[in-house]
Structure 1
Amino acid sequence: MLNETAAELPSSSRTHARTWTAQMVRPKADRGVGTPASFIAKTFILDKISGREVLDISALGLYLCFINGTRVGADVLTPGWTAYDARLSYQTYDVSSLLVAGENRIEIWLGDGWLRSQLMWGKFPIYNTWGSQIAALAELRSAPGDANPVLVTDASWESGELPIRKSGIYFGETYDAQIQPTVSAGTEAIDFNHDRLVAHETTPVRELEPLKAIKSWTDNEGRQVFDFAQNVGGYVAISVSGSAGATVVIEHAEVLDKDGNFYNVNYRTAEATVTYTLSGQGTESYRPHFTFQGFRYARVAVEGDAKLVDIRSIPISSVTEQKASFTSGNELVNRLFLNTLWSQRGNFIEVPTDCPQRDERLGWTGDAQVFAGTAAYLGEVHGFFQKWVRDLMVDQRDDGAVPHVCPDPTRMQPEHYPGFFGSTGWGDAIYQVPWQVYLHYGDTAFLEEVLPNMVKWVDFVWSISDGPIVSPPREWGARGFSFGDWLQPKGPSAKPLPTIGDDAAATIYLHIAAKQVAQIAEIVGDAATAQRLGKMAEEVKSAFVSEFITASGRLAYDDQTSYALAILHDLVPAEKLEAAKGYFKNTIARTEGRIGTGFIGTPALLPALIKIGEWGLASEVFLQEEVPGWLYQVKMGATTIWERWDAIQADGTIYNPQMNSYNHYAYGAVCQWLIEGVAGFRPDEKDPAFKTVIFEPLILPDLSPVSAEHDSPAGQIRAAWTISGEAVRYELEVPAQSRGILKLASGYRDATLDGEALASHEATLSPGKHIVTFNYTAPKRTERAKSRVNANTP
Structure 2
Amino acid sequence: METRQYVGPIEWVGKMIVPLTDRGEGGPASQVTREFDVELVRGNEILRVSACGLYRAFINGQRVGEDVLTPGWTTYDARLSYQVYHVAHLLKEGRNTITIWIGDGWYRSPLMWMSERRTEVWGTEVSAIAEIRSGEDFSKVLVATDEHWLSGQTPVRKSQIYFGEIFDATFASRPREGVRSIVFDTRKLILHECAPVRELSPLDPIRQWRDTDGRTIYDFGQNAAGYVRVSIAGETAGEILIEHAEILDERGEFYNVNYRSAEAISRVQVNERGLIDYSPIFTYFGFRYARVTASDGARITKIQSVPISSVPDATAGFSCGNELVNRFFENAIWSHRSNFIDVPIDCPQRDERLGYSGDAQVFAAAACYLADSEGILTKFVRDLMVDQALDGAISHTSPHVVRMKPGNRKQRGSMGWGDAITIIPWRLYVHYGNEDIIAEAFPAMVRWIDFAWSLTTDGVVRPPNTPGMRGYCLGDWLQPAGTEANPLPTIGKDAIATIYLFISLTIGTRVADILGETDTGARLEQMRSAVETAFRREFITASGRLKHDDQTSYALALLHDLVPPELVEATTDCFRQAIGRTGGRLGTGFLGTPALLPALSKVGEGHLAASVFLQEEVPGWLYQVKRGATTIWERWDGVLADGTLFDPDMNSFNHYAFGAVCDWLLESVAGFRPDPKQPGFEHIIYSPTIIPELSPVTAHYDSVRGKISADWTVVGEDVRYEITVPDGTRGTLRLSRAHLEPVVDGVSVDAGREVVVTPGHHVVTFRLSNHGR
**Same fold by TM-score, threshold 0.5 exceeded?**
yes
Range 630-639 or range 753-762, more displaced: 753-762
For 1:437, the equivalent position in structure 2 comes to 428
Does the 8 Å contact 2:739/2:772 carry over to 1? Answer: no
Q: Scaled by the length of structure 1, what TM-score is found?
A: 0.95
Deviation at 1:218, TM superposition (A): 0.3
Residue 568 (structure 1) aligned to one of 554, 559, 564: 559
Residues 258-657 of structure 1 mapped to structure 2, 5 A cutoff: 258-282=250-274, 284-416=276-408, 418-657=409-648
Structure 1 distance, partners of 2:704, 2:209, is 46
Structure 2 distance, partners of 1:730, 1:518, is 36
For 1:181, the equivalent position in structure 2 comes to 173
Q: Quote the RMSD (CA, aligned, Å).
A: 1.3
> Is 2:697 the counterpart of 1:697?
no
Residue 658 (structure 1) aligned to one of 640, 649, 656: 649
Residue 124 (structure 1) aligned to one of 112, 116, 140: 116
Does the 8 Å contact 2:674/2:680 carry over to 1? Answer: yes
Range 608-617 or range 622-631, more displaced: 608-617
Code of the aligned partner of 1:574:
P
Does the 8 Å contact 1:682/1:690 carry over to 2? Answer: yes
Deviation at 1:283, TM superposition (A): 5.1
Does the 8 Å contact 1:53/1:144 carry over to 2? Answer: no
Task: Name the SS for the 1:649 alignment partner.
Answer: coil
Task: Name the SS for the 1:166 alignment partner.
Answer: strand
For 1:791, the equivalent position in structure 2 comes to none
Task: Name the SS for the 2:710 alignment partner.
Answer: strand
Structure 1 distance, partners of 2:415, 2:612, is 27
Does the 8 Å contact 1:441/1:713 carry over to 2? Answer: yes
Task: Name the SS for the 1:341 alignment partner.
Answer: helix
Structure 1 distance, partners of 2:220, 2:354, is 25
For 1:733, the equivalent position in structure 2 comes to 724
Deviation at 1:20, TM superposition (A): 0.8
Structure 1 distance, partners of 2:272, 2:315, is 44
For 2:189, the equivalent position in structure 1 comes to 197
Does the 8 Å contact 2:458/2:534 carry over to 1? Answer: no
Structure 2 distance, partners of 1:569, 1:620, is 22
Code of the aligned partner of 2:576:
K
Does the 8 Å contact 1:330/1:703 carry over to 2? Answer: yes
Structure 1 distance, partners of 2:607, 2:58, is 60
Task: Name the SS for the 1:184 alignment partner.
Answer: coil
For 1:148, the equivalent position in structure 2 comes to 140
Residues 87-166 of structure 1 mapped to structure 2, 5 A cutoff: 87-143=79-135, 145-166=137-158
Structure 2 distance, partners of 1:475, 1:461, is 17
> Is 2:738 the counterpart of 1:756?
no
Deviation at 1:62, TM superposition (A): 0.3
For 1:720, the equivalent position in structure 2 comes to 711
Residues 17-96 of structure 1 mapped to structure 2, 5 A cutoff: 18-96=10-88
Structure 1 distance, partners of 2:739, 2:74, is 50
Structure 1 distance, partners of 2:644, 2:129, is 50
Structure 1 distance, partners of 2:247, 2:153, is 36
Code of the aligned partner of 2:316:
A
Code of the aligned partner of 1:600:
L
Does the 8 Å contact 1:319/1:348 carry over to 2? Answer: yes
Task: Name the SS for the 2:454 alignment partner.
Answer: helix
For 2:4, the equivalent position in structure 1 comes to none
Task: Name the SS for the 1:182 alignment partner.
Answer: coil
Task: Name the SS for the 1:123 alignment partner.
Answer: helix
> Is 2:143 the counterpart of 1:169?
no
Does the 8 Å contact 2:738/2:771 carry over to 1? Answer: no
After the TM superposition, which segments of 4 or more aligned residues of structure 1 sit over 6 Å from their partners?
none
Deviation at 1:692, TM superposition (A): 1.2
Structure 1 distance, partners of 2:237, 2:534, is 71
Q: Provide, for residues 466-510 of structure 1, a one-character-per-residue CA deviation record: whole Å limited to 9, x for no partner.
A: 541111112111000001100000111112111001001101111
Task: Name the SS for the 1:674 alignment partner.
Answer: helix
Task: Name the SS for the 1:472 alignment partner.
Answer: coil
1:229/1:506 Cα in 2 relative to 1: closer, same or farther (>3 Å)? same
For 1:10, the equivalent position in structure 2 comes to none
Q: Scaled by the length of structure 2, what TM-score is found?
A: 0.98
Structure 2 distance, partners of 1:190, 1:715, is 49
Residue 208 (structure 2) aligned to one of 212, 216, 228: 216
- In structure 1, list runs of 5 or more residues that go unmatched: 1-14, 782-794
How many pairs are equivalent? 766
Task: Name the SS for the 2:723 alignment partner.
Answer: strand
Code of the aligned partner of 1:597:
T
Structure 2 distance, partners of 1:164, 1:33, is 13
Structure 1 distance, partners of 2:687, 2:137, is 49
Task: Name the SS for the 2:714 alignment partner.
Answer: strand
1:190/1:144 Cα in 2 relative to 1: closer, same or farther (>3 Å)? farther
Code of the aligned partner of 1:148:
K
Structure 2 distance, partners of 1:764, 1:754, is 12
Q: Provide, for residues 118-154 of structure 1, a one-character-per-residue CA deviation record: whole Å limited to 9, x for no partner.
A: 1111223101111111111111011463223111100
Deviation at 1:202, TM superposition (A): 0.6
Q: Provide, for residues 197-216 of structure 1, a one-character-per-residue CA deviation record: whole Å limited to 9, x for no partner.
A: 11111100000000000001
Code of the aligned partner of 2:529:
E
Q: Provide, for residues 83-118 of structure 1, a one-character-per-residue CA deviation record: whole Å limited to 9, x for no partner.
A: 111111110000000000001011000000000101
Deviation at 1:382, TM superposition (A): 1.3
Structure 1 distance, partners of 2:613, 2:750, is 33
Range 137-146 or range 769-778, more displaced: 137-146
| Percent of aligned pairs sharing the same letter | 53
Structure 2 distance, partners of 1:18, 1:533, is 41
1:143/1:695 Cα in 2 relative to 1: closer, same or farther (>3 Å)? farther
Structure 2 distance, partners of 1:431, 1:43, is 49
Deviation at 1:779, TM superposition (A): 4.3
Residue 686 (structure 1) aligned to one of 677, 683, 708: 677
Task: Name the SS for the 1:185 alignment partner.
Answer: coil
Structure 2 distance, partners of 1:209, 1:241, is 23
Q: Provide, for residues 6-37 of structure 1, a one-character-per-residue CA deviation record: whole Å limited to 9, x for no partner.
A: xxxxxxxxx98541111000100001010000
- In structure 2, list runs of 5 or more residues that go unmatched: 1-6
Task: Name the SS for the 1:150 alignment partner.
Answer: strand
Code of the aligned partner of 1:269:
S
Does the 8 Å contact 1:161/1:184 carry over to 2? Answer: no
Task: Name the SS for the 1:149 alignment partner.
Answer: strand
